[in-house]
Amino acid sequence: MRTRIKICGITNAEDASVVVDAGADGIGLMFYKRSSRFVSIQQVIEIAEKVPPLVDLVGVFVDPLEEEVNAVLDRAPLSILQFHGNESAEFCEGFGKPYIKAMRMSDQIDPEMESLTHPKAGAFLLDTFNPDAHGGTGETFEWSRARANLTSPIILAGGLTADNIGMALSVSNAWGVDTSSGVEKTPGVKDPQKIAAFCRAVREWDRNSHDNLAERMSH
């Protein structure tokens, strides 16, 4: 199986091109005004021009108003929505787009029970809980909690870097991974070398896990 890669918090066309060249599957665009990685619709239009088909543009929202999401969709060619707040399933399903529902992994969260509240989510993104931030903190959580049996695929997030992604995937066995601060120079400014190294590390893990599986099946 090939692990899906999403690089989040892209703020300019140059960084988007780097992400595409590195082989990532998705680009995350922050529409949360309190984020240091917030982008305007005009920025997204410029970014979209650098992104070819088959690379998803993911719009990330935190408890938005319905009209805020629609205003973005009217002008920006998003393929997937990601909701990072307390949005209801009815709200998330109301825009005619596939959606990812984020879970902030506090000790009180049971991922399996939580997933039942959004049965039509295309995937669940499990991120580190921080009371003061919605993602992008650079902090990890206990990766084994991502081995939950959910109704949709799991995307692992929270403090992932090229150095720890192999271990994170081995522990979590996640379907996809998402990084933002782990491939940055400063918030909102990506590091091309870190992006390339992150994507290489994921693909290396994929190859090794495939080779290990093939070896086990041959005995």
User: Residue length, the chain?
Assistant: 219
pLDDT band at 219 (very low <50, low <70, confident <90, very high): very low
Look up the pTM and report it. 0.92
Active-site residue, 21 included: no
Catalytic residue among 8, 25, 92, 178: 8
pLDDT tens per residue across span 154-205: 999 999 999 999 999 999 999 999 999 999 999 889 999 999 999 999 999 9
Interval 146-161 mean pLDDT: 94
Distance in angstroms (rounded) separating the CA atoms of residues 84 and 102:
5
CATH topology of domain 4-104+113-129+137-218: TIM Barrel (3.20.20)
The CA distances from residue 80 to 89, 101, 158, in Å, are: 15, 11, 20
Catalytic residue among 15, 25, 127, 178: 127
163 HSE (CA, 13 A, CB side): 4
Active-site residue, 127 included: yes
C-alpha radius of gyration, the chain, whole number: 17
Interval 113-135 mean pLDDT: 86
Interval 57-72 mean pLDDT: 97
